[in-house]
Chain A
Amino acid sequence: MEKTTGSEAGPLISISHLTKRYEAGDPALSDLTLEIRRGEAPAVLGPSGSGKSTLLNMIAGLDRPDEGTVTVDGVRVDRLGEAGSAKYRRATIGMVFQFFNLLDDLTVQDNVLLPAQLAGMPRAKARERALELLADLGIEQYRGTFPGRLSGGERQRVALARALMNRPPLILADEPTGALDRASAGSVVRLIRELNERGQTILLVTHDTGLAASCATRTIELVDGRLVRDGAAVTQ
Chain B
Amino acid sequence: MSRPFKEVLTSGEFVVTSEIGPPKGTNIDKMLHHIELLKDKVHGMNVTDNQSSVMRLSSLAVCHIIKDHGGEPILQMTCRDRNRMALQSDLLSAYVLGVRNVLCLTGDHISLGDHKGAKQVFDLDSVQLIAAAKNLEQGQDLGGNKLDGSVEFCVGATATPEADNMDSQLLKFRKKIKTGAEFFQTQAVYDMSMLKSFMEHTQQSNTKILAGILVLVSAGMAKYLNANVAGVTVPQELIDEIAGAEKGKALQKGMEIAARQIKQIKDENICPGVHIMAIGKEEIVPEILEMAGI
- The yes or no verdict on A and B being binding partners is no
Residues of B within 8 A of A (CB): none
Residues of A within 8 A of B (CB): none
